[in-house]
Amino acid sequence: MELRQPSSVAEVANGASNTVLLAGGTELVPLLRDGLVEADTLVDIRGVVPRGIDGTTIGAGTMLAELEVDPEVPDALREACRLAASPQLRSMGTIGGNLLQATRCWYWRLQYPCFLHGGDRCHAREGVHREHAIFGNERCASAHPSDPAAALLALGARLRTDRRELALAELYRLPTEDDRGTTTLEPGELILELEVPRPEASAYLKAMDRARWAFPLVGVAAARFADGVRLGLAGVAPIPWALDSPAALESATPLPGTAYKVELARPLIRRALEAVG
């Protein structure tokens, strides 16, 4: 396997096919090791993707550990980063890589020929699915694992890539028969920066199996702006999930083993709304 270290964004696109972008590697390296991602060439993008926080602009190469301590960063995003993964992972893992992490569904990770891998069944629906989704789970019931993505959704963040600008919500899509992916990113497209509006108040609350170092069973972000409050949820759908109102929780479609997540989300939503006033 070849490792390329380009010195400009333009150079990233040059060269061999079958390349994969590498940032902190905390997600990608295990996927390569397990054969879930295959590549001839790794393109180390750490030298070309902006890193750091400048007002409301955050470089996609900024580590979660940097975001969790910066007072310029809205509370919801800071807290979502602080509660994610472990200190070692947050020191290596970037916000760009965090938004693009693959599902933790064990059937997918164990390479079952499930819907997301191109097959015709969701093994989790029929099998063990305690950690799985309560929304958008008709074809694939995986639960999106990113805490920061839920916070950024509530905050109404926008992304700048090397090709376009888009709302964070437009980065994600539910998998369909024709396209089993969960993002709208094109092959080789680089996320460069995030634009994160400043709310009047924001909060992130997370229910997990351990008090530290666990993926969200349910994560709830709330952000209050002059025109109202927005809610973003982690761990409840194959993609980060925007909830129009607390009442929208009643339209959840839990599986037998995930009904408890609805009950878990209810008080988290209430407490997050109380926290933002």
What are the two backbone dihedrals, phi and then psi, of residue 42, each rounded to the nearest 5 degrees?
-100, 130
- Is the CB of residue 9 less than 8 Å from the CB of residue 162? yes
> Residue 132 or 144: which CB sits closer to ligand SF4?
132
94 neighbors 62 (Cβ within 8 angstroms): yes
Binding mask 39-58 for ligand FAD (x = CB under 6 A): ------x---x---------
Question: Does 204 help bind ligand FAD (rule: CB under 6 A)?
Answer: no
Shortest CB 80 distance to ligand SF4, Å: 23
Closest contact distance (angstroms) between CB of 228 and ligand FAD is 26
114 contributes a contact to ligand SF4 by CB under 6 A? yes
Q: Which residues contact 1 (CB under 8 A, 6 or more apart)?
A: 39, 40, 41, 42
Q: Which does 49 bind (CB under 5 to 8 A by kind): ligand FAD, ligand SF4, none?
A: ligand FAD
CB of 143 to ligand SF4, least distance (A): 8
Q: Which of 98, 142, 182, 258 binds ligand SF4 (CB under 6 A)?
A: 142
CB 144 within 8 A of CB 237: yes
Whose structure tokens read 């599986």?
Answer: 255
* Contact partner at residue 190 from ligand SF4, ligand FAD, none, CB < 5 to 8 Å by partner kind: ligand FAD
From 48, 67, 134, 148, residue interacting with ligand FAD (rule: CB under 6 A): 148
Give the residue with the Cβ less far from ligand SF4, 61 or 240: 240
- Read off the DSSP letter of residue 2: E
By CB atoms closer than 10 A (0-12, 13-18, 19+), residue 201 is middle
Q: Does 182 bind ligand FAD (CB under 6 A)?
A: no
- Spell out, one character per residue from 151 to 170, where the chain touches ligand SF4: x when CB under 6 A holds, - when not: --------------------
| List 12, 48, 65, 85, residue binding ligand FAD (CB under 6 A) | 85
Q: Which residue is nearest to ligand FAD (CB)?
A: 97
Nearer to ligand SF4, 121 or 160 (CB): 121
Q: What is the sign of the dihedral through the CA atoms of 42, 90, 30 and 107?
A: negative
Strand partners, 261: none
∠ Cα 247 258 233 (to 5°): 50
- Residue for token digits 């990770």? 109
Element (H, E) at 166: strand 165-167
How buried is residue 236: exposed, middle or buried, by Cβ count under 10 Å (0-12/13-18/19+)?
buried
Distance of alpha carbon 57 from alpha carbon 119, whole angstroms: 40
Residue 202 near which of ligand FAD, ligand SF4, none (CB within 5-8 Å, type-dependent): none
Q: State which of positions 84-113 bind ligand SF4 (CB under 6 A).
A: 103, 105, 107-108
Residue ranges binding ligand FAD (CB under 6 A): 20-28, 45, 49, 60, 64, 84-85, 89, 92-94, 96-98, 100-101, 145-148, 190-191, 215
Footprint of ligand SF4 on this chain (CB under 6 A)?
Answer: 103, 105, 107-108, 114-116, 122-124, 132, 140-142
